Structure 1
Amino acid sequence: MSPDRASIAAYLTILSGSAGRLVISLVYFLIVANTLTLGEFGIFATASATGVILSRLLAFGFVSPVYRVATVKPRLLGAYLAGFAGLGLASLPLILLAGWVAYALLFAGKVALLPFALIILAEVLGWRLVELVAIINNGMRRFREAALLVIIGSALRTLAALLFYVQGQTTLTVWAFAYLGATLLSALLAFLVFMPKVRLAFVPALYPRRMADALSAGAADILFYLQAELDKLLMLAFAGDRVAGLYAIAMRVIDLTAMPVRSFNQMLVQKIMQERGLRGGAGRQVLVELSIAAVSIAGLVAIILLLTLFPRALGNNVALASYLFMPMLLVPAFRNLVEYQAELLYARERTGSRVLLLCAVAALKAALISWVMTQHGADGSWPLWLNGVFGALYLLSTAFTYRLLGKAR
């Protein structure tokens, strides 16, 4: 990406939204993480992760064609949104079935069905629709509107967390209702205030030729979030809800460090889609990856320094999980770099290859984390071993991505 004034301004606009969301999300996370018990927070985090994965089934991945049209042919947006609505309704039975299977395999006996269902519903019909409107705005280069929408959505969840904290009944079921209400209100505001004015027109002839892109991008999206959230589910399965809660807190803190990287990824994807290529040689790619790694590690180091000086600054439960941060110091860099490389493949429309990569990453992650928790779960050294796990995932992703992109030049 050339550092022209327009690109810098657009990036800073997106980053301002990420920064605002970062601050608000941090407050939200601290309230929820320190109000629920560690076990309940572990259940909430894994149920929410499951909901994020299932939300990618909505409309069978047709979000991808909607984004591409918003980026390059916004005049067709109304027709594609009508297709998204029809496919969204058709996908709901599949989501319901997948949710029931996930509950039966992972959550039955650990949490009642009602709070689990509420959390899944919040992710699928709440936050995913907020993301859709934000994606459309970003595609149309309405970065300010997209940033404001994300901030408002995060603020509403934070307000729900505050109300949950002060009302006195701090059970997981009560929080699930509050969480659902906040996300549905966010989705309503997104469509009423932030959706660009378009005229819906159902045009069946448009959709069949876009379904291959939708299905492959949707599959890649599901696999991306599956491999991203798989570790939380495995922690719940291997170590129980309390360790899963500690790990979820650690990974949530690590995830907060990724927001500047994701803003960059978003700009890069648009640039590649518009220019139909990736400029710069190997030297520039190395510089970009080193920068992503440095920013990722610096964010976690800042949090470690804060907790060293003020151990209870982020609450009691975060303090209990803080022993994980230093042993996992390299995890943010490897994790964010895998995400960056997956975005490169998406931008070059190599969605089939992206699916293969994410399948390989998910399979390797499942195998390595299962081995680590089986061999080192009892002696407490497993956080240190996770650097090797995520490092191996990065090496796999790097070899696959750049070999493929090298052939495409």
Structure 2
Amino acid sequence: MLDHIRSTYLSNFDNIRSYAILVSGSAGRLVISLIYFILVANTLSFDEFGLFAAASATGIILSRFFAFGFVSPLYRIATAKKRLLGVYTSGLIAGAILSMPIIAVVAIIIYYLMFAHQMLMITFLFIVFAEVIFWRTLEVAVILLNGLYKFGHASILVVIGTLVKMLASALFVWLSMGDLQDWGIYYICGNAASAAIAVLFYYPKVRLRWRVSLYYARWIDSLSVAAAELTYYTQNEVDKLLVLAMGGPKIAGIYAILMRLIDLTALPVRSMLTLLIQKIMQRKSIIQSLKNRLIFEAAIGGISLAGIIAMALILSIFPNLLGDNVAEVTPILIFVALVPCFRNLAEYHSELLYGVNRTVIRTRNALLLGILKTGLLALLLHYFATSDIWLTLLNGVFGILYIASLFLSYPAIDKIAPLQKSNV
């Protein structure tokens, strides 16, 4: 028995070490993110935090269209043909410049539709472009480092970026008036500093070269991934915008705090997904086994549930641990215990489709799930927003989304099985 455990450990040593590196980065990020969250959530009012979360969600959605999705070809090249990094980095820069006017126009339209009477345009644009330009730049560097199997550097960069934002929030608390307008300035400055560190110290040193023919060859993949990412993050973040529109800023603030706490518990899961999807990209036959599918689903769901229960337990013992504003929300955390399980599993399905090159199916699924999520949340808020039962019913909403994702994703994955079996 011990010999079997030892041989299993040795045969999977590289995977275990990579996961340990990623988790250590996630653990550091978790602590720093928690401090950042405490400072911001307890300085802004519920209304302001709800508006900030909705504006940030808008930026996150629009950032998926950054460079028309050319991040995906760059990542694939990093894993297979490192000598072309300079060529694809040039393509990324060109795509980023060309995509920005489109993103800016869409951002302004969204502002006038949803935010014009609640916050200044300059504050909204600061928050949106902090996500679109600066934090997305850091994410590109992290994605590239992961593609180069430099998991340690990627983890350190994420921690540094999060630390810089935390320091910006600390300065905001100590030096400003503590309102949303001030926070917009500190937020974009913090994200800009994080992006500068990523580009200057962590992005691989490459010689920029143009190969337009290669960009054309990757155009379909780039746009399909951009569409999938845009659609996926729209359905993932649209709830914050919908709650703001139907429930008002205060309920949006409470919901945003709740979802932020749930997001914090997902960091270890995302580290696992990074490694798992890379393995599946290299050997797609892994996901053909029903046993493996059940193990992966159970592991992701179990880790997610354990994380939210642990957080709820700690906060029940120390209710003011995260500050007075958050303390008002923490008693209801246990009532949404299944939400992180279903959210993380749906995210896993999306990443899985990317790993097996089913990007068109991924886009379709994200679109269908986004429509379903919007409809379910709209019904929930319309009929139950005035009572606390809507929080418990969130488990059902995300459960339905998970089941839909399950039945939309695996049939598409099964279609690659005959090809993979012939190659194994």
Q: TM-score, normalised by structure 2?
A: 0.94
Which residue of 146, 161, 174 maps to 1:153? Answer: 161
Question: Residue 193 of structure 2 aligns to which amino acid in structure 1?
Answer: L
Distance in 1 between residues matched to 2:367 and 2:15, nearest whole Å: 33
Give the superposed CA RMSD.
1.3
Percent identity at matched positions?
Answer: 44
Aligned partner of 1:122 in structure 2 is 130
From 84, 93, 105, the equivalent of 1:85 is 93
Q: Which amino acid aligns with 2:274?
A: Q
Residues in 2 aligned to 1:85 and 1:63: alpha-carbon distance in whole angstroms: 10
**Partners in 1 of 2:214 and 2:53 — Cα distance?**
38
Partners of 2:49 and 2:253 within 8 A in 1:
yes
The CA distance in 1 between the partners of 2:180 and 2:264, in whole Å, is 23
2:213 is aligned to 205
CA contact (8 A) 2:349 2:406 kept: yes
Aligned pairs for 1:213-292 (under 5 A) are 213-279=221-287, 281-292=289-300
Structure 2 CA distance for aligned equivalents of residues 276 and 405 of structure 1: 10
Instruction: Compute the displacement of 1:279 (Å).
Output: 4.5
Kindly provide the CA deviation profile for residues 310-363 of structure 1, in whole angstroms up to 9, marking residues without a partner as x: 111111111111233121111010000000011100000100000011011100
Contact 1:152/1:186 (8 A) holds in 2? yes
Task: State the 1:379 CA deviation.
Answer: 2.2
Output the CA distance in 2 between the equivalents of 1:167 and 1:205: 51
> What do the CA deviations read for 1:147-195 (whole angstroms, capped 9, x no partner)?
1111100000000111111114101111111111111111111111001
1:14 alignment partner AA: L
Give 1:73 shift: 1.1
**Match of residue 394, structure 2, among 368, 386, 389:** 386
- Cα offset, 1:275, TM superposition: 2.5
In structure 2, how many angstroms separate the alpha carbons of the residues matched to 1:168 and 1:395? 46
Q: 1:97 aligns with which of 105, 121, 133?
A: 105
Q: What is the DSSP-based 3-state SS (H/G/I as helix, E as strand, rest coil) of the residue aligned with 2:329?
A: helix
Counterpart AA for 1:340? Y
Which residue does the alignment assign to 1:347?
355
Match of residue 331, structure 1, among 339, 342, 346: 339
Q: Distance in 1 between matches of 2:243 and 2:119?
A: 16
Partner of 2:55: 47
Does the aligned pair in 2 maintain the 1:269–1:344 contact within 8 Å? yes
Measured at CA, do residues 168 and 94 of structure 1 come closer, stay the same or move farther in structure 2, by a change above 3 Å?
closer
Query: Which ranges of structure 1 fall in alignment gaps of 5 or more residues?
Result: none
Deviation at 1:406, TM superposition (A): 1.6
Match of 1:139 among 121, 137, 147: 147
Shift of 1:278: 2.6
Q: CA deviation at 1:276?
A: 4.1
* Bigger Cα displacement from structure 2, 105-114 vs 359-368: 105-114
CA shift for structure 1 position 277: 3.8
Using the alignment, how far apart are the partners of 1:31 and 1:327 within structure 2? 25
For these two proteins, the number of residue pairs brought into alignment is: 409
Q: 2:288, 2:414 within 8 Å by CA — same for their partners in 1?
A: no
- Contact 1:277–1:348 at 8 Å: present in 2 too? no
Q: Aligned partners of 1:288 and 1:351: how far apart in 2?
A: 21
Specify the alignment match of 1:174 in structure 2.
182
Residue 140 (structure 2) pairs with residue 165 (structure 1):
no
Q: 1:4 aligns with which of 12, 15, 18?
A: 12
Q: Which residue of 2 aligns with 1:308?
A: 316
Answer yes or no: is the 8 Å Cα contact 1:272–1:347 preserved in 2. yes
Q: CA deviation at 1:274?
A: 2.1
Give SS of 1:325's match: helix
Q: Matches of 1:32 and 1:316 in 2, distance apart?
A: 12
5+ residue gaps, structure 2, are 1-7, 418-424
User: Match of 1:188, as an amino acid?
Assistant: A
Q: Counterpart in 2 of 1:76?
A: 84
Shift in CA distance, 305/381, structure 1 to aligned 2, threshold 3 Å: same
SS of the aligned residue for 2:336 comes to coil
Matched position secondary structure for 2:25: helix
- How far apart are the structure 2 equivalents of 1:230 and 1:251? 12
Structure 2 residue identity aligned to 1:21: R
1:14 to 9, 18, 22: 22
SS at 1:110 equivalent: coil
What's the counterpart of residue 194 of structure 2? Answer: 186
Q: Which letter does structure 1 place at the counterpart of 2:37?
A: F
Q: TM-score, normalised by structure 1?
A: 0.98
The structural deviation recorded for 1:285 is 1.1
Letter in 2 for 1:15: V
- Letter of the 1:63 counterpart: V
Shift of 1:238: 0.7
Letter in 2 for 1:125: I
Q: Which SS does the other structure have where 2:401 is aligned?
A: helix
In 2, the alpha carbon distance for the partners of 1:322 and 1:27 equals 16
CA contact 2:287–2:293 (8 Å) conserved in 1:
no
Check conservation: 1:72, 1:274, Cα contact below 8 A: no
Q: Which amino acid in 2 is paired with 1:211?
A: W
Amino acid at match of 2:283: E
CA distances 1:209-264 after superposition (whole Å, capped 9, x unpaired): 10100111011111111111111111101100011000000000001111111111
Runs of 4+ with deviation above 3 angstroms: none
